[in-house]
Amino acid sequence: MLTTPRFMIALLSFAAILFLIAFTSTATSASSYREPSDSNPSAAGAGAGPAVNTALREKLALAERLWEQAVVDREAMAARMGFDQKFPDGYNNPYNIWDFARPSFFCPHDMERVGTLGDGGKVVCGMSRYETFSPGPSSATNPARELVVYSFGVNDDSSFEAALLQRTNAQIWGYDYSVDKWAKHIPSHRLSRAYFKKAGIGKQTDETKQPPFYNVQDLMKINGHDYVDIVKMDIEGFEYDALTSLVDFITSTPTGSHNGSLPFGQLLVEMHLYDGDRPHGSPANIRAWMEWWSALEKLGLRPANNEDNWIGDVVYGKPRFMEYTMINALNKERNMLLWD
């Protein structure tokens, strides 16, 4: 009979064999295929060329749309409040002055504070990308592309630079007119990849000063760089003169290697707003502030993160200082954060 125990056992055994064959075939196919990812952009197969990372492109397209809407919104906000308020503190109610520069573009990768808590560390977009594409340590046998970093403003904390030197093959150029060397965070065996010069950063290069001053574009030329992956800038208000000088240089030479965008992939900058004498090109009103900010955006920068410098704000009793993480969204061919 068809229902005998012996027949049922044979039938179940045959079904089990068919299941194992099907499962093994499926598992083998799955293990031999790897979906292209952010950290492995060429995983689609040898000879097929770099894979198009559709997910990354979609993220960046969405981020760009959000930023575009933020530009419209801040213009409307300024029109509602008027352009004749006392600057900057007259724009703290009902909006905060920094609402005119909200981080409307998001980082398409991880966000990580690199370095110590507080004023020394900086929030970096895509630290894991830098570790993947420019892994450390740096050596003659390391085939990876070197991570080029400029650090403007060192003071007594080099924890950010120390972390980059430890985790990537970074080469770092540092400048500060107020100190004589890197802070103690960088161990001696890594100092060969960290170059320091006692100098200020500003609008014009003047090597007759003691210490000398340089603008960003001249320093890049002196160092033989046409692109910098990460720029850290904490120069107590000189950021206005320094970045304005760089913007003017790029817009006056549109056919240069910069391709019409700022020549770095990511800017980590502390913004300072002052009243009174307004040093170093600091904006005098909301319209000047918005135009200066928009000039950075026109050349590619997008704000992806900000955080208050509470210590400085307490001194003034107003929100005067803000740390920004800004991504260059235009130079996709060279920016590690935007590579497919």
The confidence score (pLDDT) of residue 280 equals 86
CATH number at residue 145: 3.40.50
Position with higher pLDDT, 76 vs 45: 76
The confidence score (pLDDT) of residue 340 equals 72
Q: How far, rounded to the nearest angstrom, does the alpha carbon of residue 36 sit from its chain's CA centroid?
A: 23
Does the pLDDT of residue 255 top 90, yes or no?
Answer: no
The confidence score (pLDDT) of residue 14 equals 52
The confidence score (pLDDT) of residue 51 equals 59
Is 206 within the bounds of a domain? yes
Q: How far apart are CA 239 and CA 84, in angstroms?
A: 24
Residues 104-111 have a mean pLDDT of 95
The string over 146-173, giving b where at least 16 C-beta atoms fall within 10 Å of a residue's C-beta and e elsewhere, is ebbbbbbbbeebbbbbbbbbebbbbbbb
pLDDT digits (tens, 9 = 90+) for 140-178: 677 888 999 999 999 889 999 999 999 999 999 999 999
Complete DSSP assignment for 63-84: HHHHHHHHHHHHHHHHHHH-S-
Total structural domains within the chain: 1
* Whole-number percent of the chain with pLDDT over 90: 62
Is 217 within the bounds of a domain? yes
Is 15 within the bounds of a domain? no
Query: Residue 37 gets which letter from DSSP?
Result: B
Lowest mean pLDDT among 82-86, 123-127, 246-250: 82-86
The confidence score (pLDDT) of residue 27 equals 39
Complete DSSP assignment for 174-199: EE-SS-SS--TTS-GGGGGGEEEE--
The confidence score (pLDDT) of residue 37 equals 41
**Is-contact 72 79, C-beta < 8 A?**
no
The confidence score (pLDDT) of residue 138 equals 67
The confidence score (pLDDT) of residue 253 equals 85
Does the pLDDT of residue 214 top 50, yes or no?
Answer: yes
Phi/psi of residue 72, each to 5°?
Answer: -60, -45
Is 174 within the bounds of a domain? yes
The confidence score (pLDDT) of residue 59 equals 93
The token pair that represents 50 in the structure block: 């770099």
Residue 122 half-sphere exposure, CB side, CA atoms within 13 Å? Answer: 31
Is 33 within the bounds of a domain? no
Chain position carrying tokens 């004023």? 119
The confidence score (pLDDT) of residue 140 equals 66
Q: How far is CA 56 from CA 52, 84, 123, in A?
A: 9, 42, 21
The confidence score (pLDDT) of residue 261 equals 93
Chain position carrying tokens 């980059």? 164
Q: How far is CA 302 from CA 9, 245, 306, 310, 322, in A?
A: 67, 19, 11, 23, 15
Q: How far apart are CA 40 and CA 100, in angstroms?
A: 37
Which residues span the domain enclosing 96? 59-328
Position with higher pLDDT, 314 vs 27: 314
pLDDT digits (tens, 9 = 90+) for 4-62: 555 444 545 555 554 444 444 433 333 332 333 444 433 333 333 345 689 999 999 99
pLDDT band at 205 (very low <50, low <70, confident <90, very high): very high
Does the pLDDT of residue 179 top 80, yes or no?
Answer: yes
The confidence score (pLDDT) of residue 302 equals 97
Residues 105-124 have a mean pLDDT of 91
The confidence score (pLDDT) of residue 139 equals 66
Is 42 within the bounds of a domain? no
**Residue 321 parent element (H or E):** strand 321-328
Is 64 within the bounds of a domain? yes
Question: What's the predicted TM-score (pTM) here?
Answer: 0.83
Does the pLDDT of residue 249 top 90, yes or no?
Answer: yes
Is 37 within the bounds of a domain? no
